[in-house]
Amino acid sequence: MLFKPDFAFYRITDIEISFLKKNGIKGLILDVDNTLTTHDNPIPAEGVREWIENMKQNGIKLIIVSNNHPPRVKPFADLLGVDFVCEGKKPLSKGFKQASEKMNLPFDEIGAVGDQIYTDILGANFSGIKSLYVSPIEHEKTAFFKFKRKMEIPFIPKKLYRKTERKL
């Protein structure tokens, strides 16, 4: 099912090394807006820097693939010390292909993380990349986005994995 994420998390920081190892994921493609921070925010969301550092230390390759333009993507990627592809044209495979080449990893060893069903998840599924859905950090207020989010509802898993759930 092309619109269904393979895995679903509450936040990107809920994705753990043990999960990636278990699923043979050696590299992650990261979306920016509403995945690593709120829309157009130059500052990463809480815990994101630490999460990125932990990934790097554990040998997980990271690359940002965003449909947004260079002035938005480059400074943000530089701040996190992560390579990037902008104007990635998700859900088309162009950006994912470039990312796979840059990481030197085949599609089946890559996971793509993002908050939008019709770009991030559809694109990953279409390319044979594992799709990791995260709940958008903030809900956009424009009518267009509200409509898009409504159209996503049937495909969003009911249960989103949260690290803290383990303690319950």
Q: Give the closest residue to 124 by CA, choosing from 113, 137, 115.
A: 113
Residue of 33, 76, 105, 127 interacting with Mg ion (CB under 5 A): 33
Cα distance between residue 81 and residue 43, in whole Å? 13
31 binds Mg ion (CB under 5 A): yes
14 binds Mg ion (CB under 5 A): no
34 binds Mg ion (CB under 5 A): yes
121 binds Mg ion (CB under 5 A): no
Stretch that binds Mg ion, among 16-24, 81-89, 107-115, 154-162 (CB under 5 A): 107-115
- Which residues neighbour 117 within 8 Å (Cβ) at sequence distance 6 or greater? 3, 5, 133, 151, 152, 155, 156
Q: How is residue 45 annotated by DSSP?
A: P
66 binds Mg ion (CB under 5 A): no
115 binds Mg ion (CB under 5 A): yes
Largest Cα separation within the chain, whole Å, is 43
- Closer to Mg ion by CB, 17 or 148: give it: 148
Q: Which residues bind Mg ion (CB under 5 A)?
A: 31, 33-34, 115
